[in-house]
């Protein structure tokens, strides 16, 4: 929970810092146009990738296979589109990394490895045997 709160605080600070630095180098109008351009291009590409993911999901369903990757990929594309709408350079970079199929697959594979490790650590069981011993007091009449 603390890492999420830290991200909520740090991301706007980093975005504002970068907007000021880049704006002072290339100018305010150019910076604003660059932010709008990345948002528009990103949203259209997210739409394109979303449609491709839907087609792939329907193809998986027609083969009677579970489209698990396509469902997760669609959610990641929606999150990437949200990041592209938010003005800023860091969120745009993360959004574009999540939209492109190659980087999205790499990122999802790394996440799945992380969660598999956590799942394996949580599911440590100790096998054993037990014997139920009845006492005279336990019997019900």
The domain locations on the chain are: 2-116
* DSSP-based three-state secondary structure for 50: helix
Could you give the CA distance from residue 120 to residue 69 in angstroms, rounded to a whole number? 21
pLDDT in the model for residue 2: 81
The alpha carbon dihedral of 121, 123, 129, 134 has a sign of positive
The per-residue pLDDT for 131 is 73
pTM for this predicted structure: 0.74
Tokens of 24: 């002072």
DSSP H/E element including 109: helix 101-122
Position 135 scores a pLDDT of 64
Given a cut of 70, the residues of the chain with pLDDT beneath it are 1, 118-127, 132, 134-141
| 81 in Cβ contact with 42 (< 8 Å) | yes
Provide the pLDDT for residue 89: 92
Q: Cα–Cα distance between 113 and 141 in angstroms, integer?
A: 56
Supply the pLDDT for residue 26: 92
């Amino acid at each position: 929970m603390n890492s999420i709160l830290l991200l909520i605080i740090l991301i706007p600070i980093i975005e504002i810092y970068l907007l000021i630095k880049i704006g002072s180098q290339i100018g305010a109008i150019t910076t604003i146009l660059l932010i709008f351009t990345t948002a528009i291009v990103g949203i259209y590409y997210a739409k394109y990738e979303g449609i491709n993911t839907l087609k792939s999901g329907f193809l998986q369903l027609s083969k009677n296979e579970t489209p698990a990757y396509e469902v997760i990929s669609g959610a990641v594309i929606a999150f990437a589109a949200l990041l592209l709408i938010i003005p800023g350079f860091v969120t745009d970079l993360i959004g574009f990394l999540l939209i492109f199929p190659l980087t999205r697959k790499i990122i999802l594979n790394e996440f799945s490895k992380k969660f598999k490790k956590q799942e394996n650590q949580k599911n440590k069981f100790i096998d054993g045997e037990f014997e139920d011993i009845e006492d005279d007091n336990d019997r019900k009449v």
